[in-house]
A and B are shown apart, each in its own frame.
Chain A
């Protein structure tokens, strides 16, 4: 069974940093592209970032480009999101998600971790 478990969320002040993790199990992690998707309280879903299977290619939404960095450790079956220069508008539940080979929809999702940016 595919499992994705996020961690690392919490309360951080504006301008601060946080690193999210997503532990993957139940599949060959190194074979799949992975994503982060976020959802502000009471709002819709927003794609944040994507990384290919070996970590050599990444993409970001314009709203986080230059502030967030996606990475992965295939030996540890773990996806990361380093978030710097956090703003109030980054407050959201952050989900990691797996896409199938050759297509970028979200086949499996974690349960999410809440990031709150507030002073």
Chain B
């Protein structure tokens, strides 16, 4: 099983600041990496797929980068609605053993 490790567990950021979230895979997943945002009481929402492609309707302040084992989600200027938990997910296995990272909580500083 590919283990996904996210850091930090919690990130305290002021509105308007930049946030950088990391995700590391225990072995290469190529660019088969997605990012999700989850707010309390809600289902996750797809932000990024293919490591760097924004999903439909996702603002340009969200960007993804990386390949292989190291990935980054950057939120260029945090808005109030961006405070949430963010998960990465790899989808490189076959047969599928899809795995998520443990999440990074972005909280208001």
Q: Which residues in A have some Cβ–Cβ distance to B below 8 Å?
A: 35, 44-47, 50, 59, 61-62, 95, 103-112
Contact = CB atoms under 8 A, between A and B. Distances in A.
Contacts of A105: 32, 34, 46, 49, 89, 91
B49 A104 contact: no
Given A44-B101, A50-B96, A105-B91, 9 more contacts: A35-B98, A44-B87, A45-B87, A46-B100, A47-B89, A62-B1, A103-B91, A105-B49, A106-B46
Contacts of A112: 43
A61 B102 contact: no
Interface residues of B, number: 25
B99 A47 contact: yes
B97 interface: yes
Contacts of A95: 43-44
A45 B46 contact: no
A45 B45 CA distance: 12
Contacts of A35: 98
Contacts of B97: 47, 59, 61
Given A44-B87, A44-B103, A45-B89, A104 B45 contact: no
B55 interface: yes
**3 shortest interchain CB distances as A-B pairs:** A105-B34, A109-B43, A47-B98
A50 B95 CA distance: 10
A111 B44 CA distance: 9
B87 A109 contact: no
A95 to B, nearest CB: 6
